[in-house]
Amino acid sequence: MKKLFPTLFLFLLGFAGSLSAQKVLELNKSRLDVGKRRFNIVQVIDTRYDTTRLGTARVGMSNRKEAMILSGTIPLVFQQYFTVKLPHEAALPNVVIRVSRLGLWEEINVLGSEGARVAADFEFFLQQDDGFAYLGDRKFRFTEGLGTNVTKYHDDNLRAALQAAVDYLQDSVDWKTAQALPVNTSSEELTRRNVPRILTDAEPVTGVYKNFTDFRNNNPRIPAQIEVKDGTSVLLIEGKKGKFRRVKPDDRIWGFSDGKNMYINQFGTFYQLNKVGENSFQFYGVDYDKKMSNAAIGNAAFGIIGGLIAGEMTKSRHYVVDWETGSFLQKEE
């Protein structure tokens, strides 16, 4: 009993500490490694669909979700950072960076090990008198931590993503021939918002989404069927030799579509995603992250056990899918 009170106290302390409003990521203290620089970064453009979110951290022993933010917008904060770290040199060519994806989040497995994740997509354009020439793109994916508290790593992950962008410009662009590249992008095209195809296509494509990117792009990669037996619906996926089978834990499925409705996977049960208005999806189901945390604390194992498709729920919580990370946030009712 004596050991219980310190443990309970620490738990409550961690929970109380997690009630702080938001985690602000800092960039100015981070270094940026560049050799003999061959470019200026004169503008950063944010064309992500949802520019209000950067990601979510999980804080304290309760793994409460907190929004991660910058001190200002991505164009403002990133441009200030690049200006300080890479002072403008008049003789160098000017580059515009377009951020088409940037998300930060945390993952936890049943053993209690956490990872701080970052996913970033950058596109690069050479600024010329009559427009912009496309220089290429860089996709950056990274996991830091794998401990029991990885919230502190998000600042480093953000800096690492920006370092990857600079490394691409430094090492992968042929600056001797860059000035001869054709102008193929206007200012209007450069700033056009990136809208997920799942929002613009008339119908969802039938099949299984291996990850959130598949869902965003309306591009399921695995054929699927639905088996109905005794009033229960179960997802089947195409296996070897074209035969369909039930889902296994190693399949790591994000969700699926039957060509009309879409579903998100939460521990082997698929909950229907409902479109809200013109720009959002929501579902009523279980909190995947919270259940995973409980599994880790209780040393229990969870996983996909057959691909059950949930019917209407009488008790549920309401979650909204985060477009940048593929995670979900509980909606305040």
Residue 85 to residues 71, 77, 223, 298: CA-CA distances in angstroms?
Answer: 18, 12, 48, 46
pLDDT value at 214 more than 60: yes
Q: What are the residue boundaries of the structural domains of the chain, listed by start?
A: 4-190, 197-330
Going by pLDDT thresholds of 50, 70 and 90, the confidence category of residue 4 is very low
pLDDT value at 234 more than 80: yes
User: 4-190 — its CATH code?
Assistant: 3.40.50
Q: For residue 59, list its beta bridge partners.
A: 64
Give residue-wise pLDDT tens across range 69-91.
899 999 999 999 999 999 999 99
15 vs 285, more confident: 285
Residues 6+ apart with CB under 8 A from 28: 80, 81, 84
Residue 300 to residues 46, 109, 111, 297: CA-CA distances in angstroms?
Answer: 41, 11, 9, 8
Measured distance CA(94)–CA(112) in Å, rounded: 46
Q: Write down the pLDDT at residue 12.
A: 35
How large is the average pLDDT for residues 144-149?
76
